[in-house]
Amino acid sequence: MPGVVILALVIMACAGAFTAPAALAKEVRLIPQWVPQAQFAGYYMGLKKGFYKKRGIDLTIISGGPLRQSSEYLASGQAEFATLWLASGIQMRDHAVPVVNIAQMVRRSALMLVAKKSSGIISPQDMNGKKIGLWEPVFQIQPSAFIEKYDLDVTTIRQSYSVNLFLRGGVDVASAMWYNEYHTILNAGLNPDELVTFFFYDHGLNFPEDGIYVLEDTLNQDPDLCKAFVAASIEGWDYAFAHPEETIDLVMANLEDEHIPATRVHQRWMLDRMKDLMYPLSGGGISAELKYDDFARVAYSLKDFGLIDSIPEYNAFYRKCYDENHQ
Amino acid sequence: MMKTTNRGIAFKLNLWILTSVTLIFAVIFTYTYLFTRDMLIAKIEQSALDLARATSEDIDAVLLSVEKTPENIAVAMEQFRPQSGAFTGLIQETIKRSPEIYGATVAFEPWEYSTNIRYFAPYYYKGRDGKVEFTYIPYDYIYEDWYQIPKELDEPVWSEPYFDEGAGNILMSTYSVPFYDLNSPEKKLWGVTTADISLAWLQEIVQAIKIGETGYGFLITKNGTFVTHPNSRLIMNETIFSLAEGKGDARLREIGRRMIAGETGFVSLNCEFSGKPCWLVYNPLSSNEWSLGVMFPKEELMADVFRLNKIVIGLGAAGFILIMFLIAAISGTITRPLRALTRVAEDVATGNLDAEMPEVKSRDEVASLAHSLDNMKTSLKDYIRDLTDLTAAKERIESELQIARDIQMGILPKVFPPFPERDDFALYADVEPAKEVGGDLYDFFFIDEERLCVTLGDVSGKGVPAALFMTITQTLIKTRATQNLSAGEVIAWVNHDLAQENPSFMFVTMFFGIFNVKTGDLDYVIAGHNPPYIVRANGDLEMMPSTKGMALGIREEAQYSAAKVTLSQGDMLFLYTDGVTEAMDPHNDLFSEERLENILKEHGLMKVGDLIKHIFAEVHSFADTAPQADDITMLALRYTPE
């Protein structure tokens, strides 16, 4: 029963009301795993609206991107908080970086496969003999499991960041994020009814994506800070979803500051999809809980595909750090 | 009065004429506008399509010539497998000679160029000063669209535009031709040869399209991405579909789909740039399947039509005002003399037949009216003169008639009591003539000491003839009665005399009685007359028996028999003409014998004069306002021997 004991300790550590005078505001840094697009709007809104400040957190957000990996910044201590995919977090833990998931913000995987109906693909079996575009390793686990699950004989092609290979027919099936590439395809003139989509979430391959990570030391030294950070983030997300136009204004401004081309419609689509991915289908708000089933599904798949050597201890990897009442 | 007369005609003329004119103008204007507009639109459409086609062809000409370079190099690679020095020289030379090509490379599959080199792609491109520069493509190019797509499709492809970081460092589009190792047993990809074009010159070509002030051209790629657009925020950032999504414009999305499907079209939509209505003409590039769109601002192109419309409407308005003044003037020429004539007519109406006629110079209806008015004046004068004469004549006749009447009435005894020396009977009679000279008569006279003749009659017809007839009758009766004849004989003779010379077939109804004042016996004849009444001394009322004689003057040989009644002390004989019983009230009801009898029953014992006056009063109150149509005559005789 050691797991239970540790969990009890964690809960005790994270319990107790958090009160911190603003004078003693703690300076911390957050790095999301990519550029400041709507995928991370909740954190930026929380910062702008003072949800972190009122909990005694003096937050700076460092823009992620191809040149700034959030995993590296977290590991090296350049940022106290980072967002990571659950799969990336488990891989880091396996590679002896002592990261801890303190909040699993996204509950549904946004990764999907998409095909044109004109290529004759309606069901997974129709992919036999077709070419499938796959991204780099961490994005390949779910499609590979999918191929295995349906026992498909397919040719996999390495897919770049553009969807042109798919649009031109270089591959029959493309990998896509629901909040990103799928919309790009729609905005290249293909109608939803001309496309067929396969959400891994619907095929028993839900790998929840973005979560908030800290190093173990950070959590052990200041559990209240972590708790306050998660509460502020959830408040930020709730605010962002409730005020989409204001949120998109901020996102567009941030992207412009970074000289990243962006369109409002795309950011709006992304924000709407984040809402779908973070809020439960059954209603209610963000739970931020990493369920053991989700953890186990991802971890065992990683091990099966040889991306990790061993399964990390769930109770060490995930430390609940929030109150339901989001104080 | 003057104002309303004026307003009447002028107002009506203005209303009807201007309404019709406006309507006609509106119809003509609308038709002309629609016709010219449609003609213009057809012309615009044609020239728009021509422009779009011509521009597309210009661009295609360049792109197709660019395609030749990598195609030729691919053939050279496959056929001659040149050494690196040779094909790099070829690339370099090609770039120098092709002003439109920005850069070119031959990129090999990994390890295919040399087993020691993973990626080999020597790239020549034009530097800033136009000099040809060289670099090895520094990135892992095999997952780039320009390499991967032709490789997977096994065919040459134009890439979507991209910013080439690391090698070209400009916005470019690349034409890639895969080439194969013909020495291997299966068709094995060896590499891809490319030529890049800078999108700057494409943008220049398209941006050179200027249609009016706000018309412009734009270019979208196979994905709908804007390559050129006057709104630079869209370039390489938005697609026509994201634009449509942002606007919630499903139609724009549909137009975009048609564009990238390679269709040609001419549609009407709101311009993205100015928000004003535009026509969009689109035409595909045959080389890379991009699509060229040209926006034609409707307002500007239709400016000529609008200007024409303004002019036409202006002319119409001017014409409208002119017509208004014309009508006012014309109606003025009509109404002015009319007003003058009106004044004259009013003058004439007040009786001034010598009113001065206004001078009317025109020879139109107004002149006729003036003429007619003048004629009317003259005719009126004549008429009035005639009327005056006629009235004088009439008055003369009437006075003569009055005289005749007076004479006629003068014949009737009017002094009561008639025989003041006698007290053995009381007698009263009176006639109330109707308007004209009438024909009632009554008379009483002694033939000798004992016998009193009493007559009362009613001549048919009216006027002078009736009066004469009556006078004749009365004279005849007097004449015959004094010849000592019986009552029946007297009447027979009178009838005979009247009927003998009676060309106008007049007749007279008559009561004739000879009353013996000694005995109270009354011999009488009733010739077609209402039977008289007797009111006995005790108040009983009796109607005297008829003698069944016909009216006098009809048949010469008619016979008349007499009857006899005897009056006693206090009995009264009452004679009357049908003027009493046939007097009418306003509802055309008759006074009737019943009413007369009731009065006689009730008041039969009054003095004879009072009784007759009372009956007259009753008849008058019954008749009320109804005019009296006939003479009313009554005679009463009460016998009082003791």
Query: What's the pLDDT tens digit per position in B253-290?
Result: 999 999 999 999 999 988 776 778 888 999 999 999 99
Task: Look at B153 and A158 and tell me if their CB atoms are within 8 Å.
Answer: no
- pLDDT for the residue B2: 43
In terms of pTM, does the model score above 0.85?
A: no
Interface of A to B at Cβ within 8 Å reads 131, 157-160, 162, 164-165, 167-171, 186-189, 191, 261-266
Cα separation of the two ends of chain B? 84
Q: Which of B210, B206, B212, B537 is nearest to B221 (CA)?
A: B206
Contacts of A130 in chain B (CB under 8 A): none
- CA nearest B158 in A: which residue? A168
Contact yes or no for B609/B404 (Cβ under 8 A): no
- Which helix (H) or strand (E) element contains residue A246? helix A244-257
- pLDDT for the residue A269: 96
Tens of pLDDT, residues A38-82: 999 999 999 999 999 999 999 999 999 888 999 999 999 999 999
Around Cβ B320, how many Cβ atoms within 10 Å? 14
Distance, in Å, from the CA atom of A128 to the CA atom of B284, rounded to the nearest integer, reads 35
Contacts of B222 in chain A (CB under 8 A): 167-168
Contact yes or no for A29/A81 (Cβ under 8 A): yes
Give buried/exposed letters for B482-511 (b at 16+ CB in 10 A, else e): eeeeebbbbbbbbbbbbbeebeeebbbbbb
Token pair in block for residue B149: 């797509």
Question: For B223, which of A167, A264, A265 is closest by C-beta distance?
Answer: A167
Q: With 80 as the cut, is the pLDDT of residue A145 above it? A: yes
B82 to chain A, closest Cα gap in Å: 29
Sign (positive or negative) of CA dihedral A28, A31, A37, A43: negative
Read off the pLDDT band of A101 (50, 70, 90). Answer: very high
Contacts of A164 in chain B (CB under 8 A): 145, 149, 159-160, 223
- In Å, what is the CA distance from A283 to each residue of A106, A276, A278, A279, B304? 14, 10, 10, 7, 61
- pLDDT for the residue B435: 67
Token pair in block for residue B132: 């040809």
Question: For B239, which of A169, A188, A191 is closest by C-beta distance?
Answer: A188
Mean pLDDT of chain A: 89
Output DSSP code: residue A118: G
User: Mapping DSSP to helix (H, G, I), strand (E, B) and coil, where does residue B499 land?
Assistant: helix
Tens of pLDDT, residues A232-276: 999 999 999 999 999 999 999 999 998 888 899 999 999 999 999
Contacts of A159 in chain B (CB under 8 A): 143
Mean pLDDT of chain B: 87
Instruction: Give the residue ranges of chain B where pLDDT is below 50.
Output: 1-6
- A223-242 helix and A2-14 helix, angle to the nearest 10 degrees: 70
Contacts of A186 in chain B (CB under 8 A): 241, 245
Token pair in block for residue A118: 């004109």
User: Mapping DSSP to helix (H, G, I), strand (E, B) and coil, where does residue B318 land?
Assistant: helix
Question: For B242, which of A157, A169, A187 is closest by C-beta distance?
Answer: A187
Contact yes or no for B122/B73 (Cβ under 8 A): no
Whether omega for the bond prior to residue B417 falls within 30 degrees of 0, making it cis, is: yes
Question: For A189, which of B145, B160, B223 is closest by C-beta distance?
Answer: B223
Pairing relation of β-strands A26-31 and A81-85? parallel
